Structure formats: C-alpha cells, structure tokens
A and B are shown apart, each in its own frame.
Chain A
Amino acid sequence: MGMVVFTYVAFLVCVVGIAYRFYRFYKLPVNIRWEVYPVPHEPGEKKQYGGSYLEDVAWYEKELKKDHVGEWLEPLKEILWLERVKKYNRYGLWIWSFCLHWGLWLMFLFVVLMLINTKIFIPLGLIKTAGILGYGLGSLGVLGLLVKRTIHPTLKLYTSPIDRVNLLLLLALFVTGFLMVVSDEGLKHAFFYFNAILSFAPQETKVKGVVFWHFFIFNIFILYLPFSKFFHGPAKYLTYHKILWDDMPQSKGSKIEKLIEKQLGYQVGWSGPHVKPEKTWLENAQN
C-alpha cells in the first residue's frame, strides 16, 4: 500500500517540482538579448549558414518570418543522438552517454507501455524488449561513465562527489529494472503494480524483492529529478528556446515592453565607485 502512495507522491513532486522550476525561471526579469547563431527558426537557407534578419537593409520594415518546425527539429539531434558530444567530445563520453540517455528514454517508454497495457492490450514481447533494451543500455552507459569519470584525470577533476552519487542512483535504477524485466515473475508483479496505480487501489499490490526495490528507486529518481543535475534535460528547453534562440525584436505594446519598463525602475544596488547604488537603472543610464 505504502508503495503506491509513495508513487503518487513522487509523481506529484516531480511534476510540481519541474513546473515550479519553470515558474521560477519565468518569474525572473526578462534578459537583454543574447542570441547565438545559427538560430534554427530562421527561414530557408539562413538557418543552415547561421544568417539572421539583420542581414537585410531596413529589416524592421519587413515582416519577420519564423520557421517553427525548424526550431523544434533542431534539438532532436541532441536529444536523440547527442550530436555535439559525438562531434566534439574527446573524452570518449559519447557512447556511454548515448547508452545512458537511450536507457532513460526506453525506460520511460517501458513505463508508458505498461500503463497503457492496463487498459489496452500490448504484446508482451514489445514491452519486454523496451524494458530489456532500456535497462540494459542504461546500466551499461552508467557503468561506462562511472569508470570513465574515475580513471580519466580530466573527467575525474570535473566529477564531484554528488555526481557520483547521482550516477550510482541511476545504476541502481537500471540494474534493478533489468533484473525485474528479465524474469517473467518480475514482469507479472510489475503489471500488478501498474494496475494498482491506475485503478487507485493501493491495497491490491504486494510488490516485493527486486520489483519493490526498482519502483522504490524509480520513485526516488523522479522525486529528486527537478532538484538535481538531472534537471539539465528540461533546462535545455530554456537555454536554447528562451535565451540563445530568442532573437525577437521588442515591439510596442508587447509584454516584454512592459517588463522592460518595470525593470528599468529597479534600484541598481551595486557598490562600485562609478555606480549610484540607490538610483534606478534608468537614472544611472541617464548620467
């Protein structure tokens, strides 16, 4: 019973936690433009060579075109293939990181399939394949990263104790998951567990052994995700779409304009000899 309740709590904390971190970001003042090209919503060729609307004379008299599909396709290269790690990382991280991330995606797929399966039949073979591949790749990836980050002098320098704890947590997650999906008994118990969750019937599950441990760790993982380094997944949306690709000029009457107006009234507060700390940004700018 405790396990199912724990699952609800963990899921809720994860969703609310991620939402909260996004909320906190959006509550921060809007920043000065700071884009970097290529910007993938530039239309046509421009997104390929890194051009912008500033290449045109009197750009402000034309309607700015935006390729929304481009903006959403570009990140897939990184999410699905870790392209930059593959191209530029010289520490051999790519293969392990690739395994780790695909481990995560397939694990999530496995969970979703299990959930759907409680209502609509999905062939067992498919579920099992996703599970074995996901947990297997994940375990391999984490192990690889743990070893790399222990023996390579540079990576070691850039690995803090908490990074190791995080990796060990993932290792426990993947290994218990793997042990669960390879045995039919384990999978059966997992079905009961998902049934209990979806039918809001905590009393109907009696998970034990490796299945218990797996979902226990899984819950810890999602509960911890919004408050840890694992947040880099969702954060990537903000760094790219909201900062590096945000090249929208300010327009009259826009929300941004109102924000800028408000922000210029903030007190500067810095104490350098050339700053007037008690004055506002606008007042400081005017002399």
Chain B
Amino acid sequence: MSLCNFIRQELEEKNGEDKVCFKELSKPGKEPLFKLEEKEMLKIPGIEEVKDQTPENWYQTYNLSLDGYSMFPQPDTISEEDKVEIVKRFLNGLEKLLNPKFNWTFIRPFKLSLENCVRCNTCAEACHLYLASGRKEIYRPNFRSEILRKIYEKHFTLTGKLNALLGEEIDITYDLIRRLFELAYRCTLCRRCVLYCPIGVDNGLIARELRKLFSQELGWAPPEVHQKGTRLHLKAGSSTGMNPQGIRDTIAFLEEEIAEKTGKKIKIPVDKKGAEYLFIHNAGEYISWPDHMEAFFLLFDAVGINYTLSSEPLGYDGVNYGAWYDDVELARIAVNHLKIAHSLGVKKILVGECGHAHKVFCVVLDRLLPASSPLAEIKRESCLPLVWEIVKSGKLKLDPSRNDFYFTLHDSCNIVRLMGIVRPQREVLNRIVPQGRIKEMNPNGVKNYCCGGGSGFAIMGSLNFPTFRKKVGIKVKLCQIMETFQDVLKEDKIKLVVATCSNCKGTIREMEHTYHLFEKYKITHCGLVDLVVNAMTDIPPFLNFEEMI
C-alpha cells in the first residue's frame, strides 16, 4: 500500500471525549488542551520518532497552553489588568482588520472568507498539518478561522447576536487570545486548503490576517521572524545579520572557490550600473549553500548574462519575512528592494531560487505601488524560466550522465501553487539528468504538499517549536519523499530532492538530520542550477554530496 494512502486510511479522526471544542480555548490556565500522542500520529515506516524533551518548568514559565508547544519565548507572567488590556487591544486590532483604510491590502478577501464559510469541512483533508497530527481538531484549517469568526460575529454581526440568544457564546478572554496567537502559527500558509474549498474561502489567509493583527497591533510575533527577521533585515541589511562588507568578502571568497574548483577565473559583478538584471537571492544561501550561489554565477558567466549583485544593505538579501505576518514590514522591505534596483539603473530584478521572495517580487509587489511610479517600472521575474531558456538554447554543453542520481522534485508552494510556475523547472531537470531517473511525488505540481517550512516555520527555532515541526510539520512531506523513493531506497545511489526554494531546502535538510536520511537511505537535497552546472562539460563535476553532508 502506498504511504499516501496510509495517510488517508489509517489515521482516523478521534470523535470521543478528547475532541477539543471551541469553548475550551478560553479555559483558564496554562495546561495544554491536549498532548500529541505518538501512536495517533502519522507514522512512517523506516522512520524513528523524535522524543519530546520539553523541560518541565517551561510549562509554567512560558505559555504552552495550546498543544504543549510554543514559538514565543516570552515568559508569561501577565497581571490580571494586563490581561484585560490585551483582550481590548485584540478587539481593537480585529476592528482594524475590518477597516478599509487600515487593512486596504487584504480586506476584500478577508471579509469574504470570514463571512461565507458553510462549514462543510471539506478543506480539512487538504492540510498537511492536520493529517500529520492524526487529524487533531485544532489543526483543522477551519478550526482557527471558526474561532475568529465567532469572535467577529459576536462583536460585529446580527448572526452572532442571534447565536448568543440561542445559547452559543464564546468567551473572549486572555487565555483564548493567547491560544489563538499560537494557533496562527500552526499553519504554514501553503494555501492548499483553498483548492479544496467549494466556496473559495481562504483559511491560509485568515491565519495570516491573525498573525498581522498580533504583530501590527500587539507587537507579538516569533522573534526569528520579527526582531531577528524583518527588523534586522531593515537595520543591518540582511536577516542573516550580514553587512555590506560581509557580502563583499563573501563574493571574493566565492570567486576564489570557483577558481579552485573549476579552474575558471570569473568576476562576479557587484554594484555594476545599468546591467540588465539585478540578481537577488535569499542571503542565507551564501552561508548555507555557497555552492548553489557559485552555480548561479558560473551559469550566468558561461552564457554572458548581463547582471549585477548589490552590496547595498537589503540589496543582497531578497527575503521578505513580512510576507508571513506583517504588511507594514512587507511594504518597507519591498520598496527598499526596488529603490536599490532603481539606483543601480537595472531594467529588471531576477529572483533566485527562493519561494517567498518569488511571490513577493512577482505577485505581491504588483499592487504595492502605482504602475507608473519609476520604481514599478523595474520588471521582476523568476530565474526558472530564464534557466530553462538557457538550457533549451543549446549554448551549454551538458552531459546528463554527470548527474548520476535519483531525483524527485519538491514544489515550493509559493512558486508553484501561488504563482503558476510549474513546467520550466521540470523541463530543465528532464534535460540534465539521465533518462528514467525522475520520480514525481504524489501529489505534485499545484497540488503538492508543503514541506513544513513555509511561512517562517523553517526558521522558527524558539522554545520547543522545532519539536512540533519535526513531529508534525515536516511529516507529510517526509512521508511523500519516502514513498517516492521506496523502490530504490536500498540502492547505494544518492537520491536527491530537488527544491527551488531556500526554506524548503532548509526544511528537507532538517528531515535529513533528524531522521538520518542520508546515512540510512542516501537521501539528500539540492537546488536546480547546481545540477545544471554539474552537467556542464567544460568544467569538472561540481557537486560532491558526501563532502557536503
């Protein structure tokens, strides 16, 4: 039986006593509403479960009252008065989400999604977190939305008042709000559930609106996303903390490394005025996957792409964590990126293999400025069609047999489902690897499952959130990977999960480390351009996975 059928059939919803209902979220105190039991969760043959080693005292110090996990490392010692104040501020925030001026960016879809759900629960089956948890009620896409809906209806609509008259009420307390905050971060914003909804309700959007409310009004957000994310990005120039000198040094180092590896002396253009493209990637790549960056530079050099990098603060880090939780921060980073491109006099921005950066540059930015503003004149495009164009053009001599591995392609939700870039990466892969080596996951393309790292999950490392991610977040994707390679698992050949997104790669790397995928099965990950360059016959083979692990 296939593993994905396993997800569908073996994990049944619990309908007994332990079903968490909406009212329970208002339960006073810090005791978690339930505990995730291993025996009820998605089990994957050949994978040994990680242990939950949460220190006892965290349950008192912090607030783990939702499910025993938290991403918010702020000690929770709030006085009764402050609790009342927080409730008030939350309701203020909700009012602002419904205010056309304060939330012009998303009020249309938000109101539609809030008002039109028929509660058929068709969306539940779509959600990787819900499935991996063993269909636990609180992870259902619609559960979080329903709570917000109840609060909204109670305060703003006739329906809510009628429901209250008929005996249904939800208590809006600090405990409810604190749990709801946590719940806003039990969704990776992959928006797979949208594809399942007959009405077009967007539960992913509701989760993001909730995150916005907490950040924009209460200043609450996971530290990796806010203080060490957008704040650091805007202040230091990169959410990695890398400053302009750092990037210049890194580039010099990469040039040396390229020369050492390939014998090619190439000059990586930095701050070159008037180039066709400003190439911008997730700066984390320079640190975690420098060879991936080298591959891009080698490729561009080989076919003479007229591009430049920027060493301006922000100009060398294309991420925009605002996409996950805060419209103000989103706009700030996006506009800064455009300003840098404009001052360099480039015509276009070319986005590297980073999913959320793709979506921000190519889709979200489209309506962040009026089309006639000089900044909006700068076109923004994905690197994937360009890479396909290069491979297709025949300008490179490519030897597929150099990529002597098995492959599967992990689709980044942002690039595929949310942008419709599905084919170019497949065409490229098909051309550069030996015949019969690619196995598609099931499902794939626009129906892919999230890797479990979406919307900041990949970088959120506070308290015991990583344990949640390992136990639940990454499980469905891991299950799919194992299933896809199941016929060749025992073979002593490297199996590559190709991902065109930094956060996806980071998440797959976590799977490898946590569940010893390389040692046991020789499963590892890789970007797309890396493989193109590895197939180029005028330089020595470029990838060495044994060394990289």
Contacts and interface: CB of A to CB of B under 8 A. Distances in A.
Q: Indicate, yes or no, whether A interacts with B.
A: yes
A250 B92 CA distance: 33
Interface in B497-538: none
A284 B331 contact: yes
Contacts of A153: 15, 19
Interface centre among A50, A59, A238 (most CB of B within 10 A): A50
Contact of A287 (B92, B125, B332): B332
Contacts of B22: 157
B6 interface: no
Contacts of A162: 159, 162-163, 166
Nearest to B362: A54
A59 B457 CA distance: 32
A146 interface: no
Contact of A32 (B197, B368, B423, B446): B368
B133 interface: no
B45 interface: no
Contact of A28 (B107, B422, B446): B107
A29 B97 CA distance: 13
Nearest to B22: A157
B331 A281 contact: yes
Interface string B298-309: 000000000000
Interface in B138-185: 142, 146, 158-159, 162-163, 166-168
Contact of B420 (A37, A231, A249, A286): A37
B366 interface: yes
A55 B385 contact: yes
Interface string A146-175: 000000011101111111010000000000
Interface in A42-62: 42, 46, 49-60
Contacts of A78: 198
Interface stretch (A90-98, A102-110, A120-128, A199-207): A90-98
Given A36-B194, A264-B370, A285-B332, A272 B417 contact: no
Contacts of B202: 34, 239, 243-244
A275 B216 contact: yes
A240 B105 contact: no
Nearest to B13: A154
B126 interface: yes
B36 interface: no
Interface centre among B93, B121, B329 (most CB of A within 10 A): B121
Nearest to B379: A60
Nearest to A29: B104
B416 A37 contact: yes
B328 A274 contact: yes
A85 B120 contact: yes
Contacts of A38: 420, 446
Contact of A88 (B13, B109, B122): B122
Interface stretch (B110-118, B256-264, B395-403): B110-118
A254 interface: yes
Contacts of A184: none
Interface string A232-271: 1001101110111001011111101110110110111111
Interface string A104-120: 00000000000000000
Nearest to A164: B166
Given A52-B419, A93-B120, A257-B370, A239 B445 contact: no
Nearest to A149: B119
B269 to A, nearest CB: 20
Contacts of A268: 102, 328
Interface string B310-345: 000000000000000010110110110000000000
Interface string B198-209: 111110010000
Contacts of B168: 160-161
B416 A50 contact: yes
Interface centre among A160, A161, A267 (most CB of B within 10 A): A160
A161 B116 contact: no
Contact of A85 (B19, B122, B124): B122
A207 to B, nearest CB: 30
Contacts of B446: 37-38, 49-50
Contacts of B379: 58, 60
Contacts of B199: 232, 235-236, 239
B504 to A, nearest CB: 18
Nearest to A84: B198
B100 A28 contact: yes
Interface residues of A, number: 91
Given A58-B381, A238-B112, A242-B108, A249 B196 contact: no
Interface centre among B99, B109, B111, B194 (most CB of A within 10 A): B109
A273 B104 contact: no
B491 interface: no
A281 B102 CA distance: 9
B445 A49 contact: yes
Contacts of A243: 108-109, 112, 200, 202
Contacts of B364: 32-33
A287 B329 CA distance: 10
B40 interface: no
Contact of A239 (B102, B112, B368, B423): B112
Given A32-B106, A161-B163, A249 B366 contact: yes
A137 interface: no
Contact of B329 (A34, A155, A274): A274
A232 B106 CA distance: 19
A175 to B, nearest CB: 22
A180 B19 CA distance: 44
Given A236-B200, A244-B200, A257-B370, A281 B104 contact: yes
B272 interface: no
A140 interface: no
Nearest to B92: A271
A39 interface: yes
A37 B106 contact: no
A52 B199 CA distance: 22
Given A49-B446, A54-B419, A154 B121 contact: yes
Interface of A: 25, 28-39, 42, 46, 49-60, 78, 82-85, 88-91, 93, 97, 153-155, 157-163, 165, 227-229, 231-232, 235-236, 238-240, 242-244, 247, 249-254, 256-258, 260-261, 263-264, 266-275, 281, 284-287
Given A59-B381, A269-B99, A281-B104, 11 more contacts: A32-B367, A33-B366, A52-B419, A54-B381, A54-B382, A57-B385, A58-B379, A160-B163, A162-B159, A271-B89, A274-B329
27 contacts: A29-B100, A31-B107, A37-B417, A37-B418, A50-B446, A51-B423, A52-B419, A83-B198, A89-B122, A90-B124, A154-B15, A157-B22, A161-B163, A232-B117, A236-B198, A247-B363, A250-B376, A252-B372, A266-B102, A266-B104, A267-B101, A269-B99, A271-B217, A272-B218, A272-B328, A273-B219, A274-B328
Rank and list the top 10 A-B pairs by shortest CB-CB distance, nearest first.
Answer: A52-B420, A239-B200, A50-B446, A161-B166, A29-B104, A285-B331, A266-B101, A269-B102, A270-B216, A37-B420
